[in-house]
Chain A
Amino acid sequence: MATIIKSYEPTFWDKLYFPALLKGLMVTIKHFFRQKVTIQYPDERHIPPDGYRGLHRLNKYPDERIKCVACEMCAAACPSNCISIIPGPSPWDDGKERYPVRFDINLLRCIYCGFCEMACPEGAIELTEIYDFSNYSRDDLVIDKDGLLGVYELTKKQNYYTKKSHSPASLPFKTERT
């Protein structure tokens, strides 16, 4: 059975148009006084929420030992194969046999899924909230062990982005433009 849909008949008030126009003007003027959403990037920085997955870091114990035992669980879990580890015998006498001689992460391959973080039995690898780590060459975006430990030093005490208007410290692996 066909249903007859009655179209909306405008009333006299609607046909005047002016009430509707005034309503529209009120909407725009409300937005005029509203808080602006623009973040003026190099001067201001967006502070990411907790749980944001950005640049990696390699954690250390308070006595400077690296937590990583080079089990390569993270490399196995990594869906984009961006982690490469060369293990060696641990230099510390703490009952852990292995330690990473090299620990490289290709930041261009990484998809920031956080699987490495979840796979790690030692809580050694973690993702920080750092998102603006652009660099001038592809080679410089393969971050090594020192770089990862440097990121840890940078972020162990406080968040990388503290205030909106605060410009953060430069990253340990950042290269200058050549």
Chain B
Amino acid sequence: MDLLGFIIILVKVLVVFAATMITVMGMIYAERRVSAFMQGRLGPNRVGPKGLLQPIADGIKFFMKEDLIPSGADKPIFILAPAILLIPALMTFAVIPFGSSITIFGREIALQVADVNVGILYILALTSIGVYGIVLAGWSSNSKYSLLGGLRSSAQLISYELAMGLAVVSIILLAGSLRLNDIIADQQGYFLSWNVFKQPLAFIIFLVAVYAETNRLPFDLTEAEQELVGGYHTEYSSLKFAMFFLAEYANMITAAALTVTLFFGGWDVPLLDESSLGLLGAILSVLSFILKMAFFLFLFIWVRWTFPRFRYDQLMRLGWKVLLPLALVNIFLTGGYLTLTAMK
């Protein structure tokens, strides 16, 4: 790889990282504002214009707090756990294409950090690693609430990862590739070529599983503040807690981006050929991606402030007895359809 190529990749990494961090801050603000609006309140509106600097104030607060490590905690693991959760959460975004490609100085630059040919497997693998962070945090805290939170998280993982993976399999069957770019290319063009319309069942299963995967409200049994104080992060404070916080929102951003990529045509602008428009097309594609993602991020908050939490056994039943069979049936139908059309 030449030097210029290296610099380009470095710039892309920086841009994506900064964008993720800014989105995280935006999400922290949005979560508080939207929740307040839905309850007829105003929410934070004192720090900066419309309260926009609130996340910075929150960040400073985390920074100034005392960093506690409970006695009897498994110190190395206790310190490592937030990092195990946060790093994969930030890494996943690397393979997601956030726009078509731009050409600068005769060099075509794909708007994606890394074009991995097993992109989906990479994402599924990394999100699963993140759960280790939660489990280890719960285990190393030497606290019953943390432990219960960690246990629930691992149980949640095995019941949702399967259904989610199988929902994704039906998408892979359609696209015939694990590369996210190929999956987007497969959905390009007309509105109805998006995978939501081709695979509505897979979309619903995936969406439900994603909420479980990111520990968001209908399935936030790992933190369940009414039962478990704070769940797996009960004993954490200061910057370590901030890392958990960051990881949760980073996970949400990745999940939203993945939903858009798999089911809503990624950066595809409907009824428009982006490659024929040059730079404008690239900008439009990025905007389209951001808009779609923003909707799913809003949906995360919207759902959180609408639905009550599932009970533990209800969650298990939903995962194993509803979503898994449905996902299998969906794969069977998709496979059958593809075989029949191939025979003709």
Q: A residues bordering B, Cβ < 8 Å?
A: 18, 21, 24-25, 27-29, 31-34, 36-38, 40
Contact = CB atoms under 8 A, between A and B. Distances in A.
B40 A34 contact: yes
Nearest to B299: A25
B245 interface: no
B39 interface: yes
Contacts of B42: 36, 38, 40
Contacts of B305: 28
6 nearest A-B pairs in the assembled complex, by CB-CB distance:
A28-B306, A38-B42, A37-B40, A28-B38, A32-B37, A24-B306
A91 B204 CA distance: 87
A18 B39 CA distance: 23
B37 A36 contact: yes
B37 A25 contact: no
B302 A31 contact: no
20 contacts: A21-B307, A24-B306, A25-B303, A25-B306, A28-B302, A28-B305, A28-B306, A31-B39, A31-B40, A32-B34, A32-B37, A32-B38, A33-B37, A36-B37, A36-B42, A37-B41, A38-B40, A38-B41, A38-B42, A40-B42
A25 B302 contact: yes
Interface residues of B, number: 13
Contacts of A37: 40-41
B41 A29 contact: no
A175 B34 CA distance: 41
**Interface SS of chain A: helix, strand, loop or mixed?**
helix
Contacts of A31: 37-40
Nearest to A27: B306
Contacts of A38: 40-42
Contacts of A27: 306
Nearest to A26: B306
B203 to A, nearest CB: 12
Given A31-B39, A37-B41, 16 more contacts: A21-B307, A24-B306, A25-B302, A25-B303, A28-B302, A28-B306, A29-B302, A31-B38, A31-B40, A32-B34, A32-B37, A32-B38, A34-B40, A36-B37, A38-B40, A38-B42
B299 to A, nearest CB: 9
Nearest to A34: B40
B4 to A, nearest CB: 47
A36 B302 contact: no
A33 B303 CA distance: 16
A144 B82 CA distance: 63
Interface string B232-273: 000000000000000000000000000000000000000000
B306 A36 contact: no
With a 10 A CB-CB cut-off, give which of A28, A36, A40 has the most chain B CB atoms: A28
Nearest to B42: A38
B303 to A, nearest CB: 7
Interface string B293-304: 000000000110
A25 B217 CA distance: 14
Nearest to B34: A32
B307 A36 contact: no
A16 to B, nearest CB: 10
B261 to A, nearest CB: 23
A28 B275 CA distance: 40
Contacts of B204: 18
Contacts of B38: 28-29, 31-32
A148 B302 CA distance: 52
Nearest to A24: B306
Interface centre among A25, A29, A32, A34 (most CB of B within 10 A): A32
Contacts of A18: 204
B224 to A, nearest CB: 20
A38 B42 CA distance: 6
Contact of A36 (B34, B41, B303): B41
Contacts of B307: 21, 24
B57 to A, nearest CB: 18
A44 B299 CA distance: 33
A29 B34 CA distance: 10
